[in-house]
Amino acid sequence: MYNQSLKQLSTGLRNKAFSSVELSHYFLQRIKRFDGDLNSVITLNEEAALQSAAQADKSISMGEAGLLTGIPLLHKDIFCTEGLRTSCGSKMLDNFIAPYNATAVEKLAQAGAVMLGKTNMDEFAMGSSNETSFYGGVKNPWNLQTVPGGSSGGSAAAVAARLAPLASGTDTGGSIRQPAAFCGITGIKPTYGRVSRYGMIAFASSLDQGGAMAKSAEDAAIMLQSMSGFDEKDSTSVDRPVDDLLAHLDRPIKGLTIGLPKEFFSDDLDAGIAEKIEQAIDAIKSAGATIKEISLPNINLSVPAYYVVAPAECSANLSRFDGVRFGYRCEEPKDLEDLYKRSRGEGFGDEVKRRIMIGAYVLSAGYYDAYYKKAQQVRRLIQQDFARAFKDVDIIASATAPSVAFAAGEKKDDPVSMYLSDIFTIGVNLAGLPGMSVPCGFVDDKPVGLQLIGNYFEEARLLNVAHQYQQLTDWHLRVPAGYEQE
């Protein structure tokens, strides 16, 4: 049951092989059984989930079911959920219950999906190992000594352990793709503006984008279809029709050109990973695609540019957490300044504070031009690099991350080396392009992810290539040892 595709589950529901209540109960039991070790789910929504499952069963009986009706899923705890705590992985919001649903949550609920709970994450989505969460780190189900990646580490680990068929994620610099790679699942971050950011707690507004995490490209396509679309509550969401993602999956990829940026295949890339990526490229080639080497000459500037832009935006985005209206407030503040300093000092973790300080610094008088403005210029150069590349190729491919999942604690005290784990993913966010990660093998029994990058609003093409690749391989069907029991 746990490894069935979304289509299979949906068919099962319609054929009354099982009900949504049974299905939801089944996955809730899996969470209870397996998540003690993983710590991927931080809030369970059991009672309300079973109620909405019962509601879904009614819709199914009345013949009003869509593909997602009655399908259980998990939401990253960055998405506001009406009446259910939204912590963003922080002590700051440990007591926060939003009076509204994020648009993405609302759309999935409207489609009939059943929310089982909220997943763990790096605090305020700042991290690449899920070790900065107030609720403790998440373990990678493939190897409990290693991290699941971050910041959507809870969602990735939960889907990998088959605790839910689907989970939402957000990606600011690789936060869907890198954990998807580390946990051996499929994750897609669409074009900036495709999924509404309303109700998604902001980290870096110009980079944040919600997306889907699932076992396969097909499942991710179904989920993303439902999350996408224009939202008048988000000025940066794009008013443009959403392609029928499912309809494009089966198109042949013969004749497509896949670009390989030479900068992403340098000696820095782990040899084991390089081999897996080459094998994956060969498989895509065997389906009729042409391979072409390309260059993204400014891509090496993406990490430094990102670590100016993202902290700058976050330093302002996180100012609202001041202990005045909601969230954590320190005990017995002496005066206003004490209230601010201690509420924020005690409510935020170290990584969040580090980024707020970097952000405040790069925006301060006298430094703005040297850092923030310069970073925005670099960003335009990177966009232009991609634009030039997409004149020659349809899809760009690379490794998702420079290494497989690393050991917990290994990079915790070395922020720069931690930041470099997003070296292949960050450029995509700076350019606002869609990108995804697809499992493509193992190195040392740890999953490797293949990153596919598309041109703006070409999610359908991206999922098409990923799906075709998954027709030729079964990496996405592998389940970590110990989680195969029903």
What span, in angstroms and rounded, lies between the C-alpha atoms of 185 and 238? 28
State the burial class of residue 186 (Cβ atoms within 10 Å of its Cβ: 0-12, 13-18, 19+): buried
Residue type, 232: E
Residue type, 53: A
Site for other proteins in 236-255 (CB under 8 A): 236
Interface region with other proteins, contact rule CB under 8 A, candidates 22-30, 91-99, 263-271, 395-403: 91-99
| Shortest CB 192 distance to other proteins, Å | 10
Whether 175 is a known active-site residue: answer yes
> If binding is defined by CB under 8 A, does position 93 make contact with other proteins?
yes
What span, in angstroms and rounded, lies between the C-alpha atoms of 164 and 141? 14
* CB 6, CB 166: distance < 8 Å: yes
> If binding is defined by CB under 8 A, does position 380 make contact with other proteins?
no
DSSP 227-262: HBS--TT-TTS--SPPP-HHHHTTS--TT-EEEEEG
- Diameter of the chain measured on Cα atoms: 70
Interface region with other proteins, contact rule CB under 8 A, candidates 125-133, 192-200, 405-413, 442-450: 192-200
> If binding is defined by CB under 8 A, does position 440 make contact with other proteins?
no
> If binding is defined by CB under 8 A, does position 201 make contact with other proteins?
yes
Q: Which two tokens stand for residue 222?
A: 């179904």
| Shortest CB 179 distance to other proteins, Å | 21
> If binding is defined by CB under 8 A, does position 204 make contact with other proteins?
yes
> If binding is defined by CB under 8 A, does position 110 make contact with other proteins?
no
Q: For the CA atoms of 87, 91, 97, 100, what is the dihedral angle to 10 degrees?
A: -50
| Shortest CB 89 distance to other proteins, Å | 12
Catalytic residue among 40, 129, 168, 175: 175
Catalytic residue among 24, 76, 90, 226: 76
Whether 276 is a known active-site residue: answer no
* CB 330, CB 323: distance < 8 Å: yes
Relative to beta strand 257-261, strand 186-189 is: unpaired
| Residue among 87 and 130 whose Cβ is closer to other proteins | 87
Site for other proteins in 220-239 (CB under 8 A): 232-236
| Residue among 60 and 200 whose Cβ is closer to other proteins | 200
Q: Which two tokens stand for residue 198?
A: 């309303």
What span, in angstroms and rounded, lies between the C-alpha atoms of 253 and 289? 6
Binding to other proteins by CB under 8 A, coded x per residue (else -) over 8-47, reads: ----------------------------------------
Whether 118 is a known active-site residue: answer no
> If binding is defined by CB under 8 A, does position 94 make contact with other proteins?
no
What span, in angstroms and rounded, lies between the C-alpha atoms of 362 and 357? 9
* 439 phi, psi to nearest 5 deg: -65, 135
> If binding is defined by CB under 8 A, does position 322 make contact with other proteins?
yes
> If binding is defined by CB under 8 A, does position 325 make contact with other proteins?
yes
Binding to other proteins by CB under 8 A, coded x per residue (else -) over 334-373, reads: --x---x-------------------x--xxx--x---x-
What span, in angstroms and rounded, lies between the C-alpha atoms of 205 and 318? 11
Which residues in this chain contact other proteins in the complex, by CB under 8 A?
79-80, 86, 88, 93, 96, 98-100, 102, 197-202, 204-206, 232-236, 312-313, 315-316, 318-322, 324-326, 336, 340, 360, 363-365, 368, 372
